[in-house]
Structure 1
Amino acid sequence: MDPHDRYTQNNFWQSSQAANAALTGCYAVLRYSGVYGGAATPLWEETASPNAYNYSNSDGWNSIAEGLQSSTTGGIISSRWANCYEGIGRCNYFLANVDRVISIDEATRTRMKGEAYFLRALFYFLLENYWGDVPLILDPPDPSTQSNLPRTSRQQIIEQILKDLDSATLVLPLKYGSSDLGRATKGAAMALKARVLLFEASPLFNTNNDKNKWKLAADAAKAVIDISSSAGYGLYPDYRSLFLPENENNKEVIFDVQFIYPQEGNSFDLICGQYNSNAPLLDLVLSYEMKNGLPITDPSSGYRPDSPYLNRDPRLYATIVYPGEVWVSGSNKVTVTSSWFPITGYAMQKLSVYNSATKPPVKASDIKDGQSYINYIVIRYADVLLMYAEAQNEFIGPDPSVYDAVNQIRARVGMPNVAPGLTQDSMRQVIRHERRIEFAGEGLYYNDIRRWKIAELVMNSPIYTWKHTLIETRRFNPNRDYWWPIPQTQLDLNHNLVQNPGY
């Protein structure tokens, strides 16, 4: 006889509310203590790239930036593996049992399965991206059969990811009502497929330089662009406001992780401001073009070393807090000094409530851990445009559609169009620059430099403060560091796992 004071396998799957709770549990792995929140925040992922510095080695990110990671580093290396498999286990459990609930109409049940397929694909994408071959598990958690599984080839994992995303695309809706914001949509599944295929076409994964892989990626991104009108996608008109809480769930958001305080918050404001543990680096600041579209190294750009932040790409002002910036709140004005953010002299403004246009800096005592609530955008429409531009350029060269996609991104912030007549390689550099600037602070650049296989070129270098003072010299071993080590805790539990080379 089943107990009446707790749920069991036999008495749980009896209502639509229970099924929805189980699916919510799959999404929950994305949040505070999971993949995109808390210690695993994507804001710190930026610090493993030339964009930012994690002075406190929060979650082990600075160990990765210095090339010092190992199987015992812990932090993100152990938590991401565990979080992803936790999410996969929940998705598998849901998919294996949701048919037992007889009170759900078939359309709803089918849609919910689509959401679980999408989430399982996302978790597996993260796993194969950082570790390569990983165990493929499609059944509900069962230690007796799953605790000693060997690693499955990464290609098989990719095939399953694409299968799950195609299944999700067939059944998910284009839009939800306001009560279901944050659920995976058809566009989210299609956009994630485009990202997966873009990675597969990139040099790190596409070792044979198969041009057709670029075509597949371009076609997948173009498919999202083609449904943008009916799905309501587009570029949000104001770049800075795109990342403020009052504008969440806007038309640029294709899939995000929903946070709400006090039920489920994050610590983005602490990380960006008070902790300053994703402190922007001088190299990122110098990479922003002048407002006229010329790099600061061009003698005719108008760049002035004595006024280094004057007339720059507006995305600089929307992303980074810099010394000398004036913050305004009503009749009050305050000038930012480097002592506010002593780590590098800069702070990340994006993905925080720090906003020079509307309020002064938040006092250290005002926001506590877990009290921030801005959603983290996993995929936005600007990314789709640049994914298309990159893939199409690699497949066929800089045709008009490539220019159009890149110029849409630049026009949003008032930057001039890309110069016509570029070669494929010149356009490649333009697109890579645009990705770095457009997504600065969002945690994408680390994986970009990995998949482009340029990490050893941009990471084996010193990093500096705003005053050009040396912080440290980073190291990246191309024979090892493109992949993460399998956590020692997992090797101890499963003796059939084989460690990645060099660890």
Structure 2
Amino acid sequence: MKLLCKYLLLGNLLLFGSCSSFLDVEPTDRYTDDNYWETEERIVASLNGVYASLLHTGLYGGTTPLYFENLSPNTYRYQGDYNLVAQGQHNANTTLFYTVWQGAYQGIGRANNLLANIDKVDMDESRRKRYIAEAKFLRAVFYFPLWNLFGGAPLILEATNDATQSNLPRNTADEIYTQLLQDLNDAIPDLPTSYGANEKGRATNGAAKAFKTRVLLYANRWQEAAETAKEIIDANNYRLFPDYRGLFYLENEGNEEVIFDVQFKFPEFTHGFDINLDQYNNVGPLPDLVNAYYDKEGKSIDQSTIYNPAKPYENRDPRLQATVIVKGSLFKGAVVTEGQYPRTGYGQKKYTVFKDDIPAATIPDGQSELNYILLRYADVLLMYAEAHNEAFGPDPSAYDALQQVRNRVGMPPVPTNLSQDELRKEIRHERRIELAGEGLYYYDVRRWGIAHDVLNGDIYNDKGQRIDTRRFDAQRDGLWPIPAIAIQENTALVQNPGYGN
């Protein structure tokens, strides 16, 4: 049974976290702080409500995590807030920013309420510690976008029922980062390695370490990131799933590669991945991504002796057609035709439940239930390779981690005599290819300092026709604006440079 089944218990809990503003989490039913926190069952319901905030549309609900790919050079969407950001036409009133801000604070508020009240309930101390650890892990997940995208926000660690918190100024990015690490370090010792079948989807020790690795990597704390990733690798609790495409099939959810995923379950907790990727083509892979896949001998198409422009999808890295739907290939039991994916000429296959050789009807919007994988073992291997190479330069352990990911799909080894810069380029390429379609590349190009290079310029479809233009202002767009609504609600907030007052 998925963890999300338990969210049906949230009738009273959600009153502690549903809000019209990011600080409004006061209950509106018969329960209050004085009479709610009486049993362990209510603590568990409260904790489930913290998990439920992951499904907020500003975080991992709806189609948000996949639409983040449209902010990168990998894919394109022709309209909406994501396209405004890609075109550099966004401002503090762009709805996307407040949706993310609001979702983060909803989760933070629920986590804080649990942490502030859990000691009121008599229960087994080991379970109390575990519940606290889960809440702290989740609080770190919710603070992550405030640190990574906005560069600082009010750091609220108390129960959010005090009106004075609505006037708190922004804390610095460094202060948010310090709290992220503290919450994760606090959580790690008290989280289990795994759970029983009825508690799938809960945070584990490995999840906290993997998320800590991501935070350290994004902060360029190379040695610490490598050390934390190595702890996960040495623990031997996770393995690469043998089938790269099958990793994302519904029947393989929770497989040995998944470290932490956001849980969905039809009909209660659903999203629109399938129809938005397939029929609506709202995440259209770009030729820039398609052309980045190597040939099956590990060479770029510019250097390949086996690449045939007349048959561009043959003899390529198998992850190309495991991720991208290309014309002439088989998908949903039929040959993909010209114009079937009109945005760019390509569709995204990854994160649909459809098979290549099995006919399937369209899944109505909002009725998909495939879990979104927030952390997986291949990412840990690539984070280790990157961090180790940055900290110490090329050595066998960095090559080994990189090659494990390539071995899964039968790609040949990279040369072992590369310089640090040459290996860096291969690791970055591998991240782009392995994680394509998962919403992480936008974060990568920003932290690598190459956003100005790859997020400026014209966008072309598969016929070489210009369909749009990306713009990225390095002086402004490294951070998102503080949402205008948040500033209206809290005049103590200071706007990021380049976005006005």
- Taking structure 1 as the reference length, the TM-score comes to 0.92
Corresponding residue for residue 346 of structure 2: 346
Q: Compute the displacement of 1:157 (Å).
A: 1.0
Corresponding residue for residue 326 of structure 1: 330
Q: Is the 8 A contact 1:194 1:218 kept in 2?
A: yes
Aligned 1:168-247 pairs, distance under 5 A: 168-201=187-220, 213-227=221-235, 229=236, 232-247=237-252
Corresponding residue for residue 72 of structure 1: 93
> What amino acid maps onto 1:338 in structure 2?
E
Q: Compute the displacement of 1:497 (Å).
A: 0.6
Distance in 2 separating the partners of 1:53 and 1:439: 16
> What amino acid maps onto 1:462 in structure 2?
D
> What amino acid maps onto 2:187 in structure 1?
A
Q: Is the 8 A contact 1:28 1:34 kept in 2?
A: no
Distance in 1 separating the partners of 2:249 and 2:352: 7
Q: Compute the displacement of 1:12 (Å).
A: 1.2
Q: Is the 8 A contact 2:58 2:102 kept in 1?
A: no
Corresponding residue for residue 461 of structure 1: 457
Q: Which of residues 260, 263, 267 in structure 2 aligns to 1:258? A: 263
Is 1:297 the counterpart of 2:305 in the alignment? no
Q: Is the 8 A contact 2:58 2:101 kept in 1?
A: no
> What amino acid maps onto 1:320 in structure 2?
V
Distance in 1 separating the partners of 2:40 and 2:161: 25
Q: Is the 8 A contact 2:276 2:365 kept in 1?
A: no
Instruction: Give the unaligned 5+ runs of structure 1.
Output: 202-212
Match of 2:358, SS? coil
Query: Which of 152-161 and 397-406 deviates more?
Result: 152-161
Is 1:317 the counterpart of 2:321 in the alignment? yes
Corresponding residue for residue 110 of structure 2: 90
Aligned 1:372-451 pairs, distance under 5 A: 372-451=368-447
Q: Compute the displacement of 1:142 (Å).
A: 2.8
Q: Is the 8 A contact 1:65 1:474 kept in 2?
A: yes
Q: Which of residues 474, 485, 488 in structure 1 aligns to 2:484? A: 488
Q: Compute the displacement of 1:143 (Å).
A: 4.5
Q: Percent identity?
A: 52
Distance in 2 separating the partners of 1:172 and 1:375: 22
Match of 2:243, SS? coil
Q: Is the 8 A contact 1:338 1:346 kept in 2?
A: no
Distance in 2 separating the partners of 1:264 and 1:257: 11
Cα deviation, 1:136-157, whole Å, max 9, x if unaligned, reads 0000113422101111111111
Distance in 2 separating the partners of 1:402 and 1:264: 39
> What amino acid maps onto 1:301 in structure 2?
T
Corresponding residue for residue 358 of structure 2: 359
> What amino acid maps onto 2:234 in structure 1?
D
Corresponding residue for residue 288 of structure 1: 293
Distance in 2 separating the partners of 1:115 and 1:440: 29
Q: Compute the displacement of 1:33 (Å).
A: 3.4
Distance in 2 separating the partners of 1:441 and 1:258: 18
Query: Which of 402-411 and 336-345 deviates more?
Result: 336-345
Corresponding residue for residue 106 of structure 1: 125
Note the aligned Cα RMSD (angstroms): 1.3
Match of 2:267, SS? coil
Q: Which of residues 144, 147, 153 in structure 2 aligns to 1:134? A: 153
Q: Compute the displacement of 1:129 (Å).
A: 0.2
Q: Return closer, same or farther for 1:155/1:327 CA change in 2, 3 Å cut-off.
A: closer
Cα deviation, 1:456-489, whole Å, max 9, x if unaligned, reads 1001111111111111111110000010001000
> What amino acid maps onto 1:381 in structure 2?
Y
Match of 2:315, SS? coil
Distance in 2 separating the partners of 1:327 and 1:188: 34
Corresponding residue for residue 311 of structure 2: 307
Distance in 1 separating the partners of 2:296 and 2:389: 25
Match of 2:34, SS? helix
Instruction: Give the unaligned 5+ runs of structure 2.
Output: 1-26
Match of 1:10, SS? coil
> What amino acid maps onto 2:116 in structure 1?
A
Corresponding residue for residue 42 of structure 2: 18
Match of 1:340, SS? coil
Q: Compute the displacement of 1:8 (Å).
A: 2.1
Match of 1:12, SS? coil
Match of 1:119, SS? helix
> What amino acid maps onto 1:304 in structure 2?
N
Distance in 2 separating the partners of 1:275 and 1:21: 36
Aligned 1:491-502 pairs, distance under 5 A: 491-502=487-498
- Taking structure 2 as the reference length, the TM-score comes to 0.92
> What amino acid maps onto 1:190 in structure 2?
K
Cα deviation, 1:340-361, whole Å, max 9, x if unaligned, reads 11111110000111221x423x
Q: Is the 8 A contact 1:255 1:379 kept in 2?
A: yes
Q: Compute the displacement of 1:438 (Å).
A: 0.3
Q: Is the 8 A contact 2:248 2:351 kept in 1?
A: yes
Q: Compute the displacement of 1:338 (Å).
A: 2.7
Q: Return closer, same or farther for 1:348/1:373 CA change in 2, 3 Å cut-off.
A: same
Q: Is the 8 A contact 1:239 1:318 kept in 2?
A: yes
Q: Which of residues 135, 138, 154 in structure 1 aligns to 2:173? A: 154
Q: Compute the displacement of 1:276 (Å).
A: 0.8
Query: Which of 368-377 and 237-246 deviates more?
Result: 368-377
Q: Is the 8 A contact 1:463 1:473 kept in 2?
A: yes
Corresponding residue for residue 205 of structure 1: none
